Amino acid sequence: MTETTPTVSNGNPRAEATRNSSFFTPRVDIIESATELLLYADMPGVQPYDVDLRYERGELILRGKVTPSQQQGNLIFGEYESGDFYRVFQVHETIDASKIAAEFKNGVLIVHLPKQETAQPKQVQIRVQA
């Protein structure tokens, strides 16, 4: 999977101008195992029903909304962003798109991208002849 995200000098994602609006890009980790890719998207304050995850024409599209906190008092310091987020990832053809699944746990979106069986490593048995 590949994706290009604009960053500022400290490496943090910055808002990306898209469709005449600004979207911010949630941080993600992508882990590969023998059978799948796992995408972990950090989404503090996001409700699962505010996330739209789609697979279309070889792209995994992640978009949604973070609503502003409704806390009482004066904000002294704030780093949590609110507004719309948007990321697009190119998905390699070795991923079985019909089996893509996602779960939301403790503010983290976990997307399972299983590899097609033909793309998974296979142990080759070695015959020993006497």
Residue 14 has pLDDT above 90, yes or no: no
The average pLDDT across 53-70 equals 87
State residue 12's pLDDT score. 42
Residue 1 has pLDDT above 70, yes or no: no
More confident of the two residues 53 and 2: 53
Radius of gyration of the chain measured on its C-alpha atoms: 19
Model confidence at 64, in pLDDT bands (50, 70, 90)?
Answer: confident
Residue 99 has pLDDT above 90, yes or no: yes
State residue 128's pLDDT score. 87
Residue 110 has pLDDT above 90, yes or no: yes
User: Residue 28 and residue 109: Cα distance in Å, rounded?
Assistant: 9
Residue 126 has pLDDT above 80, yes or no: no
Handedness of CA 79, 104, 25, 47 (dihedral sign): negative
**Domain map (residue ranges) of the chain:** 16-119
Residues 6+ apart with CB under 8 A from 54: 60, 61
Q: What is the DSSP letter of 64?
A: E
Mean pLDDT for the chain? 80
Model confidence at 21, in pLDDT bands (50, 70, 90)?
Answer: low
State residue 113's pLDDT score. 95
> What is the CATH code for 16-119?
2.60.40.790
**Amino acid, single-letter form, for residue 68:** P
The average pLDDT across 72-96 equals 84
Beta strands 108-114 and 101-105: pairing type?
antiparallel
**Cα 63 to the center of its chain, rounded Å:** 10
